[in-house]
Amino acid sequence: MTSPDARTDFETRIYQRLTDTVGADEDTRLPAPTDLIAEPAMGHVRLSWEPVAGAAGYVIERSEAGSSPIIVDHGGSDVPAVPQTVFADTGLRDVTTYTYRVGAVIGADYPVWTWSQPVSVDTWHGRTDGSVETPVVAVSVDASRVVGDLRRVWELIGSERLSQLLLVGDQKWIADEFATALRRVHEDLGVQRVRAHAILHDDNDVVRVADDGTVTYNFDRVDAIYDQLLDIGIRPVVELSFMPAALARDPRETVFTYGGIISPPADWSAWRALIAALAEHLIDRYGIDEVARWSFEVWNEPNLVVFWTGTIDEYLRLYEESARALKSVDARLAVGGPSTAAAEWVERLAAYAEHTAVPLDFVTSHTYGNLPLDVRPALARHGFEGTPVWWTEWGVGSTHFGPIHDTAFGAPFVLSGYAVAQHHLDALAYWVASDHFEELGRPDRLFHNGFGLLTVGNLAKPRYWAAHLAAHQGDAVLAHTVAGDGAAVLVQCSATRHDDGTIDVLTWNGTINAAVMSGDPRLDRNVRLEVGGLDPAIAYEATLSRIDTNHSNIAAACPTDIIWPDEQLWSRLRAADTLASEPILPTGPAPSTPPAPTSLPTPAGPPTSATASPAGDTTLRFDFALPMPGVARIRLRPARSAPRTPQQRPSNQPD
């Protein structure tokens, strides 16, 4: 997470660097993308181009007559580059000519050297009578054809500092709710690991210095934190931060309301000794077989001046000292970094590790308001092919108390991130689990647009329900296609099958452009879903679950003028804290011709079963509305399958 000051520092550097090659290393040059196509569509322009070998992502430039070109920044993302080669540019004016260029970059902190040929497009003109027909997107699933295994990249999550678990007195209720939140994401979302700041903060009393200068270590509070965490069922990604005052070169340099010290150490050997002592203690307490399943990440966002007062060279030394300290205790301990904001310094750390033979067991970075870039080419250039890549912070927006976190906009955003991560990440940690968050001050009201998937009081936000639907998919990925206006750039799909034959088809309609966080009617779509390859001898019970402004959106159940609910309102909110689900009837077998655009009603109907045709037709069709932002899941459960409780549900069985 970045503070407003950190964001200003970032923007003044990176937006200039994207187009400025003066002094840049020629080795970072990539050729221009080819075959750029710009297609007008309802509410957006669909862009596509050919991939460039070695690219981490692509920067999009847009201009219109009489105006200077701008870099498309997606409403304020900390990384303008996008990882995919298809993209929906949204928030545009109708009946307007735009010109686009696209450039490839080797990383978020490197410039575009050569741009594609410009392509101009006239945006959607609408109908002459002014009416709007909602386009239909056709989704086709072959339930008989498995094409891969689902990667559960959401099983790492971010958290406020874990010392909240130890709060007492009049803050004991925070500790209890925080622990409940962690337990809930473990049991419901399948979270196995958590990453948090400040385990070495002086609040935890780790480093003690006697009057004669003797340094001793006290790990009692660290033990109490990790004991609770392991009891919940979650293992830590141990972020090695912040600097204990006794070791800091300048202990006056701090961040956050709790005063995390962001200074390099005054004595590098003292830092190395602390990290070795921590590792030895953890192994003594929990055993090497356990601690070897943890991970150690060096610092937090050292590329931002608000988190690290040293230079990049000093960070690289901090990484090396930490890595060598850990490996001196046991080679099985996993160490990684650079834990940077906005996907920076990955190439720099990989090059340094290659040159110095420093271990690099996993690579980490952060992105807000965009999808994670593909840093695998950067790692391959330095001999680290196959090294796990984790985004240890990621979210729909970087600004605490910003306007986006409590809205439905984050629900399709979450699923788009998980979909991209299937291809080039090993973990994508949403930041954070709970609104019990103190970095910039405690919440001043219930719906304050905090980072949490869960509110104070542990009510689920739309983003939580999106993660829930992702986590409760089957493990077998089914073949599927998406076609129509907005296909693959607005409307996306994940289709899976569980071991008991249950089929989940998860569709979502979203954009990463925060400028349209409140929605845009031109981006609403209707979905015609066809599920084929079904066994005609099996009856299926079909349900529809939805997340949008009017469904699975707990903030909508609370009057906007409420600061903190009274007991009566709390009771109503807890009753409303559910995933909106209802039975849905199939609209018939698949048609022989694609459907024309039409306005479809929101589906409803009495509880019933959807049964495959006795004539041998193995395709069922469902029609439903999918607003932007919006998420819908059609679940087909064999009628012979009895529901399981969450406690009984293995990871590959439906909830």
Please give the C-alpha separations between residue 282 and each of 222, 278, 321, 329, 622, in angstroms, as whole numbers: 9, 6, 18, 11, 54
Report the alpha-carbon angle 538-142-541, nearest 5: 35
The 3-state DSSP class for residue 379 equals helix
Question: In the chain, what's the furthest Cα-to-Cα distance?
Answer: 89
Cα separation of 222 and 59, whole Å? 43
Catalytic residue status for 347: no
Cα separation of 603 and 622, whole Å? 9
- Reference 240, options 339, 314, 313; nearest CA is 339
Starting at the edge strand that comes first in sequence, how are the strands of the sheet with 70-71 ordered?
Answer: 70-71, 57-64, 97-105, 119-122
Active-site position among 301, 320, 344, 541: 301
DSSP 8-state symbol, 54: T
Token pair of 69 as six digits: 């070109």
Catalytic residue status for 385: no
Please give the C-alpha separations between residue 443 and each of 29, 43, 160, 174, 612, in angstroms, as whole numbers: 46, 36, 13, 12, 51
Active-site position among 160, 320, 393, 439: 393
Residues 6 or more apart whose Cβ sits within 8 Å of residue 566: none
CB of 242 within 8 A of CB of 201?
yes
DSSP 8-state symbol, 592: S
| 121 membership: H or E segment, kind and range | strand 119-122
- Reference 326, options 365, 279, 378, 384; nearest CA is 279
Q: Which residues are catalytic?
A: 301, 393
